[in-house]
Amino acid sequence: MTKIAIIGLGGCLGAILRYLVAGGVHTLAKSASFPLGTLTVNVAGCLLIGIGGGLMESRQFFSPEWRSFLFVGVLGSFTTFSTFGLETFNLAKQGQWLTSFGNVGFSLVLGLVAVFTGYVLSRMI
């Protein structure tokens, strides 16, 4: 139960950070035609999970509780794209290129199909 609370606390913080960062970038950029706030959050999340993943791998820097708080909680709600990036990178790093590219392709295509399907279903309700 403690692990769930730790993740929940991190998730709360990550969601608030996402709102503030994406909204702040959107306000500064004043561009309604490109989702620059979301792009910023996704890239920042990937940078942070890359740094954290590297520290965890090379120096065993984080305890299991801190990993749950930061990686699953904060970054998980800040952007799931960072987890997708780290998992895809790890597959490529392990020489699993086909699986790595498959992850990118399936995630992109199936994600867009799911959005389209959800949109169509919402019109039927």
- The model's confidence at residue 61, banded by pLDDT at 50, 70 and 90, is confident
Would you state the structure tokens that stand for residue 82, as one six-digit string? 């960072």
* Torsion angles phi and psi, residue 62, rounded to 5: -110, 140
Domain residue spans of the chain: 1-124
Would you state the structure tokens that stand for residue 2, as one six-digit string? 């403690």
Q: Is 80 annotated as a binding residue?
A: no
pLDDT digits (tens, 9 = 90+) for 64-108: 899 999 999 999 999 888 889 989 999 999 999 999 999 999 999
Query: Is the model's pTM score more than 0.85?
Result: no
Residue 34 predicted with pLDDT over 80: no
Residue 6 predicted with pLDDT over 80: yes
Cα 115 from chain centroid?
Answer: 18
The H or E element spanning position 37 is helix 36-59
Q: Is 76 annotated as a binding residue?
A: yes
C-alpha–C-alpha distance, residues 52 and 84, integer Å: 14
pLDDT at 109: 94
DSSP assignment string, 62-87? S-HHHHIIIIIIIHHHH-HHHHHHHH
